[in-house]
Homo-oligomer: A and B are copies of this chain.
């Protein structure tokens, strides 16, 4: 209880989202501006190259704006991080040390 005074109730959340059309983007961008991390499933839109490119560009603009980060994960996911959180692109694989 000692640390409650002065602490904001808001924390950083990781949220899972599905991007099915460009109208979803406003919500997703808001999450990033609010400091949340997004795991976005793009399997629905990824065959539509124009829509996918547009969505990624929009998300990337936000990322640049807030100094966050964005990276693809596997085939169907895009990870977007807000201010203060970066994506380490080197994969941790054990057993080689």
A interface with B by C-beta (< 8 Å) = 11-21, 23-24, 27-28, 31, 36-39, 69, 73, 79, 81, 84-88, 90-95
- Is the beta-carbon distance between B73 and A21 smaller than 8 angstroms? no
Given A37-B37, A79-B39: A18 touches B85 (CB 8 Å cut-off)? no
- Is the beta-carbon distance between B13 and A91 smaller than 8 angstroms? no
- Is the beta-carbon distance between B20 and A37 smaller than 8 angstroms? no
- Is the beta-carbon distance between A92 and B20 smaller than 8 angstroms? no
- Is the beta-carbon distance between A92 and B27 smaller than 8 angstroms? yes
- Is the beta-carbon distance between B81 and A14 smaller than 8 angstroms? yes
- Is the beta-carbon distance between A85 and B14 smaller than 8 angstroms? yes
- Min CB distance A82 to B, Å, is 10
- Is the beta-carbon distance between A88 and B20 smaller than 8 angstroms? no
Q: List 9 A-B contacts (CB under 8 A).
A: A13-B86, A14-B88, A15-B91, A15-B92, A16-B88, A18-B93, A20-B93, A24-B94, A28-B92
